[in-house]
Amino acid sequence: MTAKSKITISRRTLLAGASGTLIASRAWAQQPAEVKVGLLVPISGLYARPGTVMREGAEMAIDHINAQGGVKALGGAKLKLVVLDSGDTTEKAKNAAQRMVAQETDLVAASGAYLSSFTLAVTEVTERANLPMLTLSYSDLITERGFKYVFQTAATAGSQAKQALPQLIKLAETASGKRPKTVAILTDNTGASIASAKAMREGLLAENQLQLIVDETFTPPLADATSLVQKIRSAKPDLLFFLPTVISDAKLLLEKMNEFGLGQGKVPTISFGIAIAEPDMLQTVSPELLQGVLTCVASWGAKGHEALIAELKTRYKEPWMTQNAISTYGDMWVIKDALEKAGKADRVAVGEALRTMDGGPSKYYPLGEIKFDEKGRRVGAGMTIVQWQTGVPVTVFPPELALAKPFWPKS
């Protein structure tokens, strides 16, 4: 990539030259007192919104860490965030990962990449480059490939459903006085939803003495939810598990439920994943329709995060703190702790530190410890149940993190 050998100046040579100088200037700017951390998330395209929230969480964490004296083991070295756009396709995500490892050679660790299919592709690259990668994506597949440099901070999809079900039943039992017996599953066919639904169908429901009486899978986006809701109405399940990924699907079904007189808690509705609790929901669905809807997520702004939630609100105008913000915030602290343990700004050493670290109880991820098992899964990773209460999704489970008491919609 030298521009010298060419006599004619084309646009490409100019670009090559320009990127050459960029690399050079980076090298000059690098001081021993700065440690680079990567964030590879979608900041353009279809998933730009959640990616942006992840960046906000990361920026807040970096500022806090630096304000508190940086990495002490490295003489108070400051952290520097390098943001890369994973775009909106698997190929773009993989290309961005390749760019990250090829051009940001001094990264010590990174976080990303939102969708689990992106994370799967990205970690294929980071693994080969020995770059530790922390991820919120919870597909079980991510940590089933025998990789050494991927660390899953959230409970896996299968594990989340397993944890959530007994809690939900207990919640229903205490609130309504009777144990739910029948359930309906309405799920779209995207990766995360399928994984959760599969875990429920294949054993979890039976373990919890629940009978599956409606089981429908749809392809987003829905054009009309009438036939789905009619099935629910005629079967009258005690619980409805509704797993959308697209906000418009969530809106369509909730509205149709209301229209058929099943809404606002007549059939308690439980979701998995963040779609139904995204701030964007309020732009299309009225708070009354959402009242009481529960969703099971990997992580959420919870008890102990009040100051962070307030800061996020004032600094970025976010109405509440989703899993994307709080988890990425936590990732930066985990990387900082690993740097302290490693004692040097080296990715292999940081990877080793992450594998062997025992950071005690987790502060920013729900439950468990800051410790990873041999697969790279966080030990004891819990999950959060969030409930829409007067226009805000608040954490209601686990009790030690709950910001509000859950209520069971009255039927």
Min. distance of Cβ 351 from another protein in angstroms? 17
Put residue 380 in one of left, alpha, beta given phi > 0 → left and psi -120 to 50 → alpha.
left
Shortest spacing between CB 341 and another protein, in angstroms: 27
Supply the minimum distance, in Å, between the C-beta of residue 304 and another protein: 32
Other residues' Cβ atoms within 10 Å of the Cβ of residue 113: 33
Q: Cα-flanking dihedrals φ and ψ of residue 157, to 5°?
A: -55, -45
> Residue 48 or residue 175: which is nearer to another protein going by CB?
48
As given in the structure block, the two tokens for residue 163 are 């944890």
The SS3 assignment for 158 reads helix
- Burial, 174: exposed, middle or buried (Cβ in 10 Å; 0-12, 13-18, 19+)? exposed
Q: Least distance (Å) from another protein to the CB of residue 30?
A: 18
User: Angle at the Cα of 28 (from 27 to 29), degrees rounded to 5?
Assistant: 95
Binding site for another protein (CB under 8 A): 1, 12, 15, 19, 43-45, 48, 83-85, 87, 89-92, 94-96, 98-99, 101-103, 116-117, 120-121, 124, 127-128, 139, 141, 145-147, 189-191, 194, 198, 217, 219
Cβ proximity to another protein, 101 vs 165, nearer residue = 101
Whole-number minimum distance, CB 102 to another protein, in Å?
4
Nearest CA-CA partner of 125 in 162, 147, 97: 97
C-alpha to C-alpha distances, 407 to 111, 176, 236, 394, nearest whole angstrom: 35, 9, 21, 12
Our CB check for another protein shows the closer of 68 and 217 to be 217
Nearer to another protein, 78 or 148 (CB): 148
Q: Please, what is the minimum distance in Å from the beta carbon of residue 220 to another protein? A: 10
Do β-strands 269-272 and 294-297 pair in parallel, antiparallel, or remain unpaired?
parallel
Q: Which is nearer to another protein, 72 or 145 (CB)?
A: 145
User: For residues 56 and 337, which CB has a smaller minimum distance to another protein in the complex?
Assistant: 56
297's tokens: 């997520």
The residues pairing with 241 across neighbouring beta strands, listed in sequence order, are: 185, 270
The CA–CA distances, whole Å, from 107 to 335, 340, 374 equal: 11, 15, 23
Beta carbon nearer to another protein, 84 or 165: 84
Q: How far is the CB of 45 from another protein (least distance, A)?
A: 7
